[in-house]
Structure 1
Amino acid sequence: MANFVLRVYGGLQSLIQSIRLCICVFLDSIANVSYPYMWSFDTRIRSLTHVPKHIFFTGGLNSHNASKRVSYSRRLSAILAAAIDGGVKLFTLYSSHELWHFEEINALLLSLTNELKRLGYTPFISLAVKTVDTQLFKSGTESTESDDESDGLLTPLNILLLSPAARPGNFSRADAIIQLLDIRNSHGSYISHLAQYAGKDFSYSNMVEGFHGLAMDTSGHFIGYPDLYLSFSKYQIPQVHNCMPWMLRCAMIFMCPPIRHYNVQSFWRDLVKYNKARQRRADITKNLD
C-alpha cells in the first residue's frame, strides 16, 4: 500500500511539473513574439543588480538532423545575441555526448551573424580552429568602415568563436568570446591529459598548453568561472556528466526545457531568477558579517 501511495505521489508530482513547464513555455512563446520590436534586452538587463559574466550552456545543443540543426542554431543564436547585446561577454557551449562538427558550427555562425545584424550590429565573427591571429579584428573593423551608409549606422562587433581544439592566446581584442567544448574536453580527457605528466617535472603553463577550457585568454581579460549553468533537458536533470569540475565551481545550475522550447523570453526569466538568487546570497552574507 505504501509503495502504491508513493508511486501515485511521484506521478502527480511529475504531472504537475509537466503542466507548469508547458504553461511557462506557452507564456514565453507569446511574450517572445514582440522581441526585439517592442522591448530591448539591453534595456531590461540594466534593471538587474547581478548579471552573469560567463554563461555555460549544455544539453542537446547540436543535432545530426539538418532541419533540427538549423532550428537549434537559430534559437541558440537568438539567446547569445541577446546576451551579447545585454553586455555578457563570455559563453561556453558544451556538448557532453557528441563532437562539434563543421556543419553545426557553420550553422551557428551564420545564425548568430543574422541575429546580431537584426539587433543593430555589424558583426565580425572569427572562427579559431587551433591558433588565433591577433590582427584579425583590426582588419575586420577596417572592413566595416568601407561598407555602405546604411551599414555605417550599425555598431561594429568583434566576436571570437573558439573550436574545441583552439589554443590559449591573447583575446583582449574581442568584444565577446564563445568557446565550444565537447567530449574531447571532458573530465575523463582532462585526467588522461594529466596522466602523461606523472613523475615528470612540468610547469602549470606546460600542463594546460593545448587543453581547452582552462585558461584560454592569456591577457586576463576574459578569465572567469561560469556564473550561470543552463542545462537543457526534457527530463529536468542537470547535464553535468563528464563536465570539467572547475566549470561547476561557482555556477548556479538552472534546469531548462529542451532548446526547441527555449527562447529569449525564457532566457530573460532565468536571468531574473539568477538575480534574485544572487541577491539572497548577498543579503545572507551581509547579515553574517
Structure 2
Amino acid sequence: MTRPITGIAVVLILLGVVTMAGPTFGFATIAADRGVNVATADDSSAYLGLEDQSASASIDSPGEQTVVYTVTDNVRDDSATVDASIVGITDDSNDPVTSAALSVNVQPGSDAETFDIVLACEDGASIDGSYRVLLRFVASSDASSVDATRETTALVPVDCTAEPVVVSVDEDGDVTSGGDVTVDNNVNVGGDIESGGSVTVDNNVNVGGDIESGGSVTIANNANVGGNIVAQGDITIRNNAVSGDLIAGGNVDIRNNAKIDGDVMACGTVTVRNNAVVTGTISENQTDLPGVQC
C-alpha cells in the first residue's frame, strides 16, 4: 500500500528516474555517519521522501538533540542502504562553521516506515547561535544509487556551550571542559587543558601539558605552558610568558619578553612584539594547519 506524503517541504525522489536506466528500489537500512543501522518497513511505492523539520528544531544545551529531517521509505530492497552525513554548517551570516561541531544520527520515526535525522552536539563543541545544516543522503543498492543533498530551510538554534570551568586550586591532572576554562592567578595545572571554548591562563600559572581550545587562548603575564597550544581562534601570549609550539585558527600575538620554544603557525597573522623570542619558524596566513580549521 502506498502512503502519500504531503507538504511543501517534502522532496520525493523517484529512484528509477534519478538513476536513469537503473531499477527502482527503496532501502532496507539507514546508516548514520557513526555506523548506526536500523531496519525499515515494507512498502510498495518507489519513492524516497525527505521532509524538512528544521522550522521546529532546536538544541538548547550540549546534551540535547533535535530532528531536522524525516526520511520515508516507501519501497523495500534488502540490499539497499542510506547514509546520512553533514556536508557543511553555516551561521546566520552565511559564514561557515566547522562541521565537526555537530553529529548526525538516525533514529526510528513516529511511523513504521519513517526515520528521523537527528542532530546533536559533538563532544567539546562550543557553538552557540542559529545555523543551517547541509546534509547528504546517499541511497544505494546492488544495482542502483541516488545522491541527495538538502540544506535545512530554517535556521536551527543551537547552544552547545557548557558551563565555564574555573580552576582556583592546584590540579595535578588534566582539566577538560566543553565550555570555557579559566585558571586563576598562581594556580598550577599538572596535565593538559582541553576546552570546547576559550582558555584563559592567568598570571603566574604553570601548565605542565598541552592546551587545546575550541576558541581563543590567552596566556597572561609570567605564565608557563610546558607543552604546545592549539586554538581554533586567536592565541595571545602576554609579557614574560613561555610556551611550546603555537597553532592558531586565527591570529597570534606574542607580547613583550615572551618566549615561544617552538614553531608558530597561524591561519591569520603573527605579531611578535618587543624582545619576544620565537626559537622555531613562523608561518602566517596559512590555509591548512593540523588541528585547526582555517
Whether TM-score is above 0.5 comes out as no
Alignment TM class, shorter chain as reference? under 0.3
Larger radius of gyration: 2
TM-score by length of 1: 0.26
Greater per-residue strand proportion: 2
Bigger relative contact order, structure 1 or 2 (CA pairs below 8 A, ≥6 apart): 1
TM-score by length of 2: 0.25
